[in-house]
């Protein structure tokens, strides 16, 4: 690996190229348009909170950007290249945390994170203990996860944020089941990640107090007004 | 299997390899922690075979004639029943999402999971089959071929079944549907496996059948994880 | 230019409007061929030396069996095109092809069974062809069941397309295996419709019936697909306008909701 994600990204990408860029991204599920022609440029240091009412497509957008579902039209660029052409680099620089924690209850936090480190390509096996300590699970490393509380389980999942060196974090409701102190720590972590040149895209019902926070309201990209004007979506695949 | 560490893990292939081992190791660990579930297909196999003399006839001659086919059919059903959970728990707890977005190829993740599935169902079924052969009065020439064909056949069935399991992963009641879509695909394996045992009992040479079963397995190793990986990407956002 | 045409195929509306003109022609050709083929086959073709008149069921059985298998490949190829080029229309074709193919498979099974009664003296014989047909029928059923199982239609489309593709790899293997299995158990087979043995006077009507069935298949697929297009695109403007136009031409008094908007 020639490119090391640890180095500050400004070093090789001029600030004029956003780290992540969305051009005219539209998403349709079963003939229902969730959002259309979404544009977004995320520069190193940006924390972008995606807002919108339930059902506006927040999770769908995050999952699409993480590459879990590919049902969107438009372009997603990573450092100026289409993600499909730099899929490997993109996947290496991506950390996604969804609604589901991705934790096996029969395994201990240590075993869970070991597998995660191998699958995500993170090389920092030795830092698992440190990460677990950071999220306040010191002493629980070997405890089977079914003995942990919901909040603690969530913390096991959040420990991933301390593990990898991914620059792009995509977090769907990261504050769920986390207590006040934990939330404050998480915000500090976000600020640090932004300072180091990372990008965070997140959804949350919580108001964040981060300096570099931007908002993206999905309501601005709703297709038309809901009644009276059915959009002509004919030929959506081929000719526009 | 002790601690798997890949020193340096600099290149892409090394990390792919370590991912493969990590998944293999994790799934084996999970299988061992959930031992009770592991035993279920074996018990099913045993009970289902016990039903045969009760339902057909306890006569040695009758049983011996149908033993090869019956053991094969029951092994097929036992494999099928165990397949439902192959990706289900990963889907339900979100691990599957992490596999999907991993920079490592999904093919090897699937392969590792299928391998574990075979190690905890196909292999024990094969090891248990001579016992069931005795129960069904299988003639002495059939035991070796039974084990060899089941060894190859259950591996193919795990692989092919993985495609079905991947397709039905997001469906709450996918178990029956899984059987429905996978069973027709098992036909060739069943035909060659059961007939090999049958022929061996009659005293003919069965090299060709075993070769065909081997060819099926080779084909399944190459293609089935690919199809299953594609299926996982599609069906997981149902 | 060829590619432009290909991408237009992705547009259900284009397809719907284009095929409108084909329908009467296709219907006429299908009817003529079916009538000519059946009358020729049932009334004018000579009786078989061994089987007498009972062989005449092949004029339905054989074309149905042909189409059952060809239909599977049509379905699978549509699914593959949908998966590769991410177009909507091929999925609609695939979804329409499944029940038609299953129905034809069923027809060929039933006619095979009816034919079996005078030929073998039993309604069901584990003959290689019939067994293969039965497994093909199961494959169709699986694809249809999988398609309906998902809440999201998009997911159901893609999942069943993958299953159809897996099936295409398997079908030749299944056919060969079943053939081999059959020779193993019944070395002496009753060969009927042997390629060389059929007399031209019996063959020509059969050929006509095969072509007629192909036309019928095309017609059925078109009608099904067009219905599927309307169902899936029912919220688009062009379908609303179409409905408004048709309703207007039938009865001017019915106000059509959404039709006058824009």
User: Is the Cα torsion angle B148, B154, B156, B159 positive or negative in sign?
Assistant: negative
ipTM computed for the complex? 0.90
Q: Provide, as residue numbers in chain C, all residues whose Cβ is less than 8 Å from the Cβ of A74.
A: none
- Show which of residues 214-233 on chain A sit within 8 Å of chain B, judged by CB atoms: none
Q: What is the mean pLDDT of chain C?
A: 86
CA distance linking residue B209 with residue B72, whole number of Å: 14
User: How many helices (H) and strands (E) are present in chain B, helices listed first?
Assistant: 11, 0
**Cα dist. C211→C42, C99, C203 in Å?**
17, 20, 12
B partners (3+ CB pairs within 8 A) are A, C
A partners (3+ CB pairs within 8 A) are B, C
Q: Residue B195's pLDDT is what?
A: 93
Q: Residue C251's pLDDT is what?
A: 57
Q: Residue B59's pLDDT is what?
A: 93
Q: Contact A78/A20 with Cβ under 8 angstroms?
A: yes
Q: Does A66 contact chain B (CB < 8 Å)?
A: yes
pLDDT at residue C186 is higher than 90: no
Over the stretch B107-116, which tens digit does the pLDDT of each residue have?
A: 999 999 999 9
Q: Residue C143's pLDDT is what?
A: 96
Of B94, B104, B236, Cβ closest to residue A119? B104
Over the stretch C197-224, which tens digit does the pLDDT of each residue have?
A: 677 888 899 999 999 999 999 999 999 9
CA distance linking residue A95 with residue A116, whole number of Å: 11
Q: Residue C189's pLDDT is what?
A: 44
Which range is least confidently modeled, A231-235, B18-22, B220-224, C94-98? A231-235
What share of chain C has pLDDT > 90, as a percent? 54
Task: Judge if pTM exceeds 0.90.
Answer: no
Q: Does B163 contact chain C (CB < 8 Å)?
A: yes
CA distance linking residue A166 with residue A116, whole number of Å: 13
| Average pLDDT of span A111-120 | 89
Q: Residue B172's pLDDT is what?
A: 83
Q: Does C211 contact chain B (CB < 8 Å)?
A: no
Q: Residue C152's pLDDT is what?
A: 87
Q: What is the mean pLDDT of chain B?
A: 90
How many CB atoms sit inside 10 A of residue B89's CB?
Answer: 16
**DSSP secondary structure, A77-113, as one string:** EETTEETTTTHHHHHHTEEEE-SS----TTS-HHHHH
Q: Residue C128's pLDDT is what?
A: 87
Size of interface A-C (CB pairs under 8 A): 51
Task: Grade residue C250 by pLDDT with cuts at 50, 70 and 90.
Answer: low
pLDDT at residue C162 is higher than 70: yes
Q: What is the mean pLDDT of chain A?
A: 81
User: Is the Cα torsion angle A173, A177, A181, A186 positive or negative in sign?
Assistant: negative
Over the stretch B54-107, which tens digit does the pLDDT of each residue have?
A: 999 999 999 999 999 999 999 999 999 999 989 999 999 999 999 999 988 999
Q: Provide, as residue numbers in chain C, all residues whose Cβ is less than 8 Å from the Cβ of A71.
A: 154
CA distance linking residue C123 with residue C115, whole number of Å: 8
Q: Residue C9's pLDDT is what?
A: 67
Over the stretch A148-166, which tens digit does the pLDDT of each residue have?
A: 998 899 999 999 998 878 8
Q: Residue B26's pLDDT is what?
A: 95
C135–B187 CB contact, under 8 Å:
yes
Q: Provide, as residue numbers in chain C, all residues whose Cβ is less than 8 Å from the Cβ of A230.
A: 235-237, 240, 258, 261
Read off the tokens for A183. Answer: 């939330």
Task: Grade residue B1 by pLDDT with cuts at 50, 70 and 90.
Answer: very low
Of B10, B19, B236, Cβ closest to residue A118? B19
Q: Residue A238's pLDDT is what?
A: 33
**Residue of chain A whose Cα is closest to the Cα of C158:** A71
């Amino acid at each position: 690996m020639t490119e090391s994600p640890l180095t500050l990204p400004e070093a090789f990408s001029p600030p004029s190229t956003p780290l992540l860029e969305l051009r005219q991204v539209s998403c349709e599920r079963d003939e229902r348009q969730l959002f259309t022609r979404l544009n977004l440029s995320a520069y190193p240091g940006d924390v972008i909170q995606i807002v919108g009412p339930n059902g506006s497509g927040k999770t769908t957008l995050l999952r699409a950007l993480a590459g879990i579902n590919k049902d969107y039209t438009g372009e997603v660029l990573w450092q100026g290249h289409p993600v499909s052409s730099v899929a490997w680099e993109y996947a290496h620089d991506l950390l996604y945390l969804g609604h589901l924690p991705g934790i096996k209850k029969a395994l201990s936090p240590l075993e869970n994170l070991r597998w995660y480190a191998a699958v995500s390509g993170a090389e920092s096996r030795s830092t698992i203990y440190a990460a677990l300590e950071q999220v306040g699970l010191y002493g629980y490393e070997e405890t089977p996860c079914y003995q942990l509380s919901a909040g603690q389980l969530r913390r096991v999942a959040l420990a991933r944020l301390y593990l990898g060196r991914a620059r792009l974090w995509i977090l769907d409701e990261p504050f769920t089941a986390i207590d006040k102190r934990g939330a404050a720590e998480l915000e500090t972590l976000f600020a640090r990640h932004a300072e180091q040149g990372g990008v965070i895209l997140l959804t949350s019902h919580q108001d964040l107090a981060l300096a570099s926070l931007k908002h993206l309201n999905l309501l601005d990209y709703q297709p038309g007004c809901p009644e009276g004007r059915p959009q002509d979506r004919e030929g959506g695949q081929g000719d526009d | 299997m002790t601690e798997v560490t890949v020193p340096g893990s600099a290149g892409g292939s090394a990390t792919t390899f370590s991912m493969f081992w990590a998944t293999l190791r994790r799934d084996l660990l999970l299988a061992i922690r959930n031992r009770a579930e592991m035993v279920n297909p074996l018990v099913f196999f045993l009970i289902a075979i016990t039903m045969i003399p009760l339902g057909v006839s306890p006569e040695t001659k009758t049983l011996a004639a149908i033993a090869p086919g019956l053991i094969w059919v029951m092994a097929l059903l036992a494999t099928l029943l165990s397949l439902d959970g192959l990706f289900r728990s990963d889907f339900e707890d979100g691990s599957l999402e992490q596999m999907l977005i991993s920079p490592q190829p999904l093919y090897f993740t699937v392969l590792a999971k299928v391998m574990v599935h075979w190690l905890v169902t196909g292999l024990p079924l094969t090891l248990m089959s001579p016992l069931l052969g005795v129960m069904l009065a299988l003639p002495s020439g059939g035991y070796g071929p039974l084990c060899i064909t089941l060894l190859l056949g259950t591996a193919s069935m795990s692989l092919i079944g993985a495609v079905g399991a991947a397709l039905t992963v997001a469906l709450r009641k996918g178990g029956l549907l899984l059987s429905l879509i996978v069973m027709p695909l098992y036909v060739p394996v069943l035909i060659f496996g059961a007939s090999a045992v049958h022929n061996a009992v009659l005293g003919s040479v069965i090299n060709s059948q075993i070769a065909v079963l081997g060819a099926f397995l080779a084909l399944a190793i190459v293609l089935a994880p690919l199809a299953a990986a594609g299926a996982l990407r599609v069906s997981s956002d149902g | 230019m060829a590619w432009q045409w290909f991408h237009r195929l992705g547009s259900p509306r284009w397809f719907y409007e284009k095929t409108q003109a084909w329908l009467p022609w296709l219907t006429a050709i299908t009817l003529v061929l079916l009538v000519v083929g059946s009358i020729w086959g049932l009334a004018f073709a000579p009786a078989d030396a061994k089987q007498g008149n009972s062989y005449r069921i092949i004029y339905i059985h054989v074309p149905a069996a042909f189409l059952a298998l060809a239909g599977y490949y049509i379905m699978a190829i549509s699914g593959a095109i949908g998966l590769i080029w991410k177009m909507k229309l091929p999925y609609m074709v695939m979804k329409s092809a499944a029940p038609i193919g299953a129905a034809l498979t069923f027809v060929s099974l039933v006619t095979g069974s009816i034919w079996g009664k005078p030929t073998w003296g039993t309604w069901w014989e584990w003959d290689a062809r019939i067994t293969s047909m039965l497994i093909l029928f199961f494959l169709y059923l699986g694809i249809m069941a999988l398609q309906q199982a998902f809440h999201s239609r998009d997911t159901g489309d893609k999942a069943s397309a993958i299953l159809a593709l897996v099936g295409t790899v398997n079908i030749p293997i299944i056919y060969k295996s079943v053939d081999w299995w059959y020779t193993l158990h019944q070395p002496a087979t009753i060969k009927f419709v042997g390629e060389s043995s059929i007399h031209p006077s019996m063959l020509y009507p059969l050929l006509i019936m095969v072509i007629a069935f192909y036309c019928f298949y095309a017609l059925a697929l078109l009608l099904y697909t067009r219905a599927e297009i309307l169902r899936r695109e029912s919220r688009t403007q062009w379908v609303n306008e179409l409905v408004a136009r048709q309703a207007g031409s039938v009865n001017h008094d019915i106000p059509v909701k959404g039709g006058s908007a824009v």
